[in-house]
Structure 1
Amino acid sequence: MNHYIKLVNFEVKRFSKLFLTLIIAVIATQITGAIVTSSLYVSNAETTMVRDQMTVSNYIQTYGAYSLQNFLFSEYFFLSVIFAAALLMIYVFFIWYRDWLGKSSVIYRLLMLPTARRNVYFAKLTTILLFIFGLTAMQIILLEVVNQITQRIVPDQLWMDESIIYIYSTEVLDLLYPQSPLLFVFYYVIGVTAVAVIFTSILFERSYHIKGIFLAFIYCVISVVIVMIPVIIQIITNYFYTNEIYLIVTGFSILTTALAIYLADYLLKRKINV
């Protein structure tokens, strides 16, 4: 356990600067977006009301009041979330290939440590999960900051306050922060499974090289099929309730993750020499 914790600490430190840069970029983009979208709304509202001689209530009835939804559907929020997700997805590959393709071939030193080689795999998987949860937690705080900024820019007469439940029911936020405990477990188990399968696919490629690319592809296809078996059965039979499908797919995803870990352990022990 001590070696595993040290490996996690090692991986976190290696990505910490890039992760901090990512957080700063997301914060700067979303705060800028909050200021721009709310200021633009107020400017357009004032211009329209003067031009068309409208009252505030008439303007709201025609064009709607400003709320946090305006920001959530803006390109500032959407693109910042997509950018963060894309960078993390790139790092899922980079966290392994950097160790092999770097000048010092760090992977060989890691695999020679006096600990089970699977701890290297678990440490990298844990690091990715820590960064994912770190970003999602940061986004919750950032939304409150954005909410306070927009409330100070938009006059009270043009502002529409919305409940937390309603705000988090929007499509993007509902995916990041599912309101149902079952959906929360479902989404994040699927995410862990995807990362585990990608990790093991990389190890196939590193173990068998050119042939490994083909094996990795076949393995990914098999993994997707395993996870999708309940969905395929549901499409054919329409037998299960929606929540039952979520539970069954979650179970098959856990099975797929366990298979990924088993294969990764085998490859690290038997196929990768140092």
Structure 2
Amino acid sequence: MNRYLKLLHMEIHRFRYILAGLMAITAAVQIGVIIRTLVREVAKRKEDILNHQSIDVGSALFPSGKLSFASTMFGIQFWFALPILLSIAVLGLYIFLIWYRDWFGRHTFVYRLLLLPTARRNIYLAKATAILAFILGMLAFQLLLLPVENVIFNLIVPAEMREASYFADVIAANQALPFLLPQNFDQFVFSYGLGFSAVLAVFTAILLERSYRRLGILYAILYLIACAAAVIILPVSNQTYFNPSAYLYPEEFFMIEMVIFALVVASSVWLGFRLLAKKITV
């Protein structure tokens, strides 16, 4: 356990600057676009007030036009989602780099990893845990950023122009947030279970390619196709209108998917451990 934690610390330490950079870009872009949008909207409404001196600001001028944090989130869809998509792309690329940079980096660092006096499965588990930690870390950072952005909203928008928003309304207003944080617990488990099983499947595909080289590319592609078919194609095919006798209730569909996820995770981990122990040599 101690060596596993040291390997995990090493993987997190190697990615720390990129992770901090992604967080900084996310905060800068989202806060910047919120400030720009709110300053423009508040200035526009103040100008309307000057042009309607005799109209009561609280009732006539803004009967349904008060600013709310939820409406602000709805109005900045693209710029709010852009750093999130960038983070997803970088993390997706790092799933490959976390292995390949050890092979193609300076002095083929992977050989030193494989010669460490510890079970090789700890290398696999440390890399998988690190990716999971990066994903959950970015998710937690985004959720912690929302209250900060709400405070900025309250500081910029005068009280007479503000309308209260519930947290659920804020999440639903922006298309990127329900994707990151589904409001339904089953959907949350399904989405992140799918993502985690995909990460482990890619890990095993990489090890197949490293174990068998050119032939391993074919093995890796076939393995990923098999996993995708198991997770997506087979359950969905049972929900088609052309096969009404195989119709599944949502609870049954969810349980089947969870079992398939567990099988994909178990097969990926078992095969990855075996390849590291038996096929990859120094």
TM-score > 0.5, shorter chain as reference: yes
Cα distance change, pair 10–172 in 1 and its aligned pair in 2 (3 A): same
- Asked whether the 8 Å contact 1:37–1:71 carries over to 2, the reply is no
- What is the distance in 2 between the residues matched to 1:234 and 1:32? 44
- What is the distance in 1 between the residues matched to 2:40 and 2:116? 57
Deviation at 1:219, TM superposition (A): 0.9
- What is the distance in 2 between the residues matched to 1:16 and 1:128? 12
Q: Which residue of 152, 155, 159 maps to 1:156?
A: 159
Matched, 1:216 2:216: no
Matched, 1:46 2:52: no
Q: What are the superposed Cα offsets for residues 73-112 of structure 1, whole Å, 9 maximum, x if unpaired? A: 4133110111111111111111111101101211111111
Letter matched to residue 238 of structure 2: I
Letter matched to residue 119 of structure 1: N
Counterpart residue number, 1:65: 67
Cα distance change, pair 248–62 in 1 and its aligned pair in 2 (3 A): same
Q: Which residue of 181, 184, 192 maps to 2:185?
A: 181
Aligned residue pair count: 274
**1:107-122 residue pairs with structure 2 within 5 A?**
107-122=110-125
Deviation at 1:158, TM superposition (A): 2.2
Counterpart residue number, 1:84: 87
- What is the distance in 1 between the residues matched to 2:158 and 2:144? 23
Counterpart residue number, 1:227: 231
- Asked whether the 8 Å contact 2:34–2:72 carries over to 1, the reply is no
> Larger deviation: 40-49 or 104-113?
40-49
Superposition TM-score, scaled by structure 2 size? 0.89
- What is the distance in 2 between the residues matched to 1:52 and 1:196? 62
Deviation at 1:148, TM superposition (A): 0.6
User: Secondary structure at 1:194's aligned position in 2?
Assistant: helix
Deviation at 1:185, TM superposition (A): 1.7
**1:21-40 residue pairs with structure 2 within 5 A?**
21-40=21-40
Deviation at 1:197, TM superposition (A): 0.9
Q: What are the superposed Cα offsets for residues 141-187 of structure 1, whole Å, 9 maximum, x if unpaired? A: 11000001011111222222111122223432222222332222212
Structure 2, unmatched stretches of 5+, are none
User: How much is the aligned-residue C-alpha RMSD, in angstroms?
Assistant: 2.0
User: Secondary structure at 1:168's aligned position in 2?
Assistant: helix
Letter matched to residue 213 of structure 1: I
Matched, 1:93 2:96: yes
- Asked whether the 8 Å contact 2:69–2:170 carries over to 1, the reply is no
Q: Which residue of 256, 261, 272 maps to 1:253?
A: 261
- What is the distance in 1 between the residues matched to 2:123 and 2:266? 16
- Asked whether the 8 Å contact 1:201–1:217 carries over to 2, the reply is yes
- Asked whether the 8 Å contact 1:207–1:272 carries over to 2, the reply is yes
**1:188-207 residue pairs with structure 2 within 5 A?**
188-207=192-211
- What is the distance in 1 between the residues matched to 2:154 and 2:254? 38
- Asked whether the 8 Å contact 2:4–2:126 carries over to 1, the reply is yes
Cα distance change, pair 174–121 in 1 and its aligned pair in 2 (3 A): same
